[in-house]
Structure formats: structure tokens, C-alpha cells
Amino acid sequence: MNQLEKLKKAVNEFLPTSIENLQGYLSIPTVSAQNKSISETVEYVVAMIKDLKGEVKVLDDLGGNPVVYAFFAAGDQGDASKTLLFYNHYDVQPPEPLNEWDSNPFEPTIKDGKLFARGVADNKGDLVARLSAIKALQKVEGGVPCNIKFLIEGEEEIGSPNLEPYLKKYRELFQADACIWEFGGKDDKDRISMVAGIKGMAYMELTCIGAEIDMHSSVGAYVDNAAWRLVLALGTMKNQQNEILVDGFFDGIKEPTESEKQVVANLPFDEKAIARLYGLKRALITSRKGVDPREAMVFHPTMTICGLESGYTGEGAKTVLPKKAMAKIDCRLVPGQDPNYIFECIKKHLLVHGFDDIEVKLINGQKAYRSSFHHPFIDHVIQAAKEVYKNDVILAPNSAGTGPMYIFGEQLCLPIVSTGVGWAGSKAHAPNESIRLQDFEEGIVYIAYMLTGFSDALTEKKDTVVIKK
């Protein structure tokens, strides 16, 4: 039996225990936006690590939800000169709207080979898969083949506001040669898809206050309407072609390289499948404009209204002139853009357009990050995935989503690839979030197998490694 077969066998034998561990973890409602169950979750994570004889530290001296550090030293047969870092988060998104769930979001439910629960795909399933991979290596190899570290934070779903000081202070502790990021999975054709970077974020709240109390709508003859003012202000920020009209918004954007462009042009993209998945009512913006959606997804920044609130929205009619209107918007940024600068540009845009009464608050900001495509680690994760998944592997320069990857790249100077146990229908952040148990099992085997060749892959090509800060 070769090494891969041995790992598969070991994982298959203890899989029920791993699923049980995951179910226990998922039943804790760790909603960071509502500050729920944080210490209980940290205890659970610490127990899982200790169970595998890992060293663990709970860092909480710099405020915010604790950051968990875990360390597994290379076994006797392993290479202690190489270290792989895993990044995960133990917090989850709020489960609302609850009436759209087919089962209780915090009562993990298995149905048709899938495990349903809030956070199962993003990101609790991945942490348990990675810890299970360590267990498999301990069983098959008698230990792990290199040093392994974990950084597990509890504020990813609220924009990791306190992570940077921890990474700065504990840079030595988290130092590694490469990093596996939190998430990933299979696409609609079951190809494993990975990313080597991430988009950034500028999340803002816009508020227009027109009066101290709601008014009878008849005063609309002579009183400004906060809801209209906010809608008009938002209307100046984008045109009907979905183009962002804020001056300075595109300043500093780093042009993608030729190899990045080529990879993106070959990414799979099934418009019909996407329309079906979301039940879209209109054609994609990109197809109406004749833009390649792959390029838009990876290389273009976005501006999205995430929520609007004002006046009466209940049943029937209520003729009211609201005193206040509020909108939340997010801008997904690409490398070269700075969230604080974007925030200043939007403030200036509103002033210039006569909306000096609209207050803008930056809720959170993160820069984008892209790893160099020419690192042996990148080749290694792809090669190992081909061997385990026996299917095409798709690696994009960056994801369309966001996370605190930039500060890892900046503080630790390492290549980062994201891969995980999700699938095309995982519905992260939405009702009925799920993973397929088959993917969970394969994902454990993949991480274990990838770790076995990690040190060699980095050593062989050491002379050619160039990491640009």
C-alpha cells in the first residue's frame, strides 16, 4: 500500500469521530457580530488541539476576541527546518433569516450525504479537516512531516479588526515558510478550486438625518426627505452600466501580470449554473456589458449596496416622511487600492455632489493580496491536489472574496494558497450552509498528503525561491 492509500484508509477509519467533533464545534453559535459564545468556542478549539497533543496558546492581551496559536512539532522522521502555517477562524456569520433554514443552523444535521449548519463551510469544517489530517499523519507516519502552526482567530466575519496588532507582536511565533488559507472547495464540475490571493474591502455606513422625528408625509411639499437624499446620493456613485463614478476610486491599482491574465482567462465560469444557483432575475451585468466575468471577478473592484433602511416597510400603507435613512455599502478592492483612501474619495465625492449632510463611517477596511505565482509551494499544492482529487485543479490569482490575507503577506512574507472542503452549493453566509461529507473526507486526505511532500518541495527548489515583500 502506498502512502496515499495508507492515509485514505486511516482517515476512513476515524471519520465518524471527526464528524462528531465537527458537529460539537458547529453546535456552538459563535456569532462574532453578536459577540456570542466566544469563550466556549475557544475552549472547544483548545480541547481539539490538546487532544492531538499539540501545543496551544490563547492570545488575548491585545483586545478583541482571543487568537488561538497551535503548534505541532515535526515528528522524529520529519523535517523541523520547514514550517507550514494554517489560517482559520472560529467565528461564523449570523444565521438570519432563520425561516429560510430547513434545519436549525446550530443543530448540525446530516441529510443526503451533506452536513448542514451555520459555519460548516465557512470555516469550522476546514479547521476540523486540518486537525484530522494531523491525526491521520500521526497514525500512519507516527508524527507530522514538518512543523505545523495554526492561527485561529475569532473576528474574521466582522473584518478582523484586531488581528494586525497580534500578528505584529507575535510575528516570530507565527513565522512559517508558507501558509494555507482558511477556505475553498469544488466548483460545479467538481474540480478543486484554489486561490493564491484575496480581494480587499472598504465597508461603509452612510447616514442621512433630515429631522429629529418622523413626519406626516404631506410636509414633503416643503421638507427634504432623508430617504430620497440618500438614494440620490447613492445614485451619483454608479451609473446604469454598473460603472463606479467616484473620483480617485481606481487610483494605484496594480495591473495584473500576463501570466495572471492568462490563468484568469481560462478559469471556468458557467453563467447558466450561476443564474440557477442564485435564481437570478436578470442577465449578468458582465454579459450585458460584454465584459469577461472572470476578469471582473478577479481583477475589478466592486461597490455593492448591502442594505438600505428608512421609514415604514411593514404591511399596507403608512404615509410617513422618515427622519432618517441609512445604507451599508461594501467595496471589494484589488491590489494597489487602500481602504482609507477609498473612504476619503467617497467622502469627497458626496461633498462635491452637494451631499454634505450625509455622514459616512468606515466600518472596516482591508487591503487585497496576491502571492507570487512562481513559488515552489504553489506548484506543490497543485500537484498534490491532482494526485488526491484525480481531477483538474483550478488556481486563481485571487478570490473575489475578502479576508485579512494582506497583513499575513506583509508581516510574514510567505506564499499563501487557500483550499478547503466546500462545494459549489455550500451557501456560505446564507441559509442552509453545507458541506458534502465525501468532500470533507477527501479534504482531510488532501491536507495530510500535501503535508508529506511539503518540506521536499521547498528544499529542492530553494535556490530559485524569490519572495517579494
Residues contributing to the site for Zn ion (CB under 5 A): 122-123
Nearest distance in Å: CB 25, Zn ion: 14
Nearest distance in Å: CB 124, Zn ion: 9
Closer residue to Zn ion in complex, CB, 122/433: 122
Closer residue to Zn ion in complex, CB, 122/260: 122
Nearest distance in Å: CB 107, Zn ion: 21
Under 8 Å between Cβ of 82 and 455: yes
Nearest distance in Å: CB 163, Zn ion: 13
Strands (E), 27-161: 55-59, 67-72, 74-89, 109-111, 114-116, 144-153
Closer residue to Zn ion in complex, CB, 225/419: 419
Neighbour tally for 53: CB within 10 Å: 11
Print burial letters for 58-81: b (CB count within 10 Å at least 16), e (below 16): eebeeebbbbbbbbbebbeebbee
d(CA 232, CA 236): 7
d(CA 463, CA 469): 17
Neighbour tally for 393: CB within 10 Å: 18
Closer residue to Zn ion in complex, CB, 158/296: 158
Under 8 Å between Cβ of 368 and 197: yes
Strands (E), 22-73: 55-59, 67-72
Under 8 Å between Cβ of 76 and 143: yes
Closer residue to Zn ion in complex, CB, 37/123: 123
Give the CA distances from residue 247 to residues 204, 253, 349, 353, in Å, rounded to whole numbers and listed in that order. 17, 14, 7, 11
d(CA 329, CA 337): 17
Closer residue to Zn ion in complex, CB, 184/415: 184
Nearest distance in Å: CB 156, Zn ion: 5
Closer residue to Zn ion in complex, CB, 167/234: 167
d(CA 442, CA 421): 8
Nearest distance in Å: CB 158, Zn ion: 11
Closer residue to Zn ion in complex, CB, 75/161: 161
The residues near 439 (Cβ < 8 Å, ≥ 6 apart) are 185, 186, 421, 422, 423
d(CA 448, CA 95): 31
Q: CA angle, corner 269, sides to 97 and 381, nearest 5? A: 90
Nearest distance in Å: CB 331, Zn ion: 19
Nearest distance in Å: CB 433, Zn ion: 11
Closer residue to Zn ion in complex, CB, 371/399: 399
Nearest distance in Å: CB 440, Zn ion: 16
At how many degrees (to 10) do helices 125-141 and 437-460 cross?
A: 60
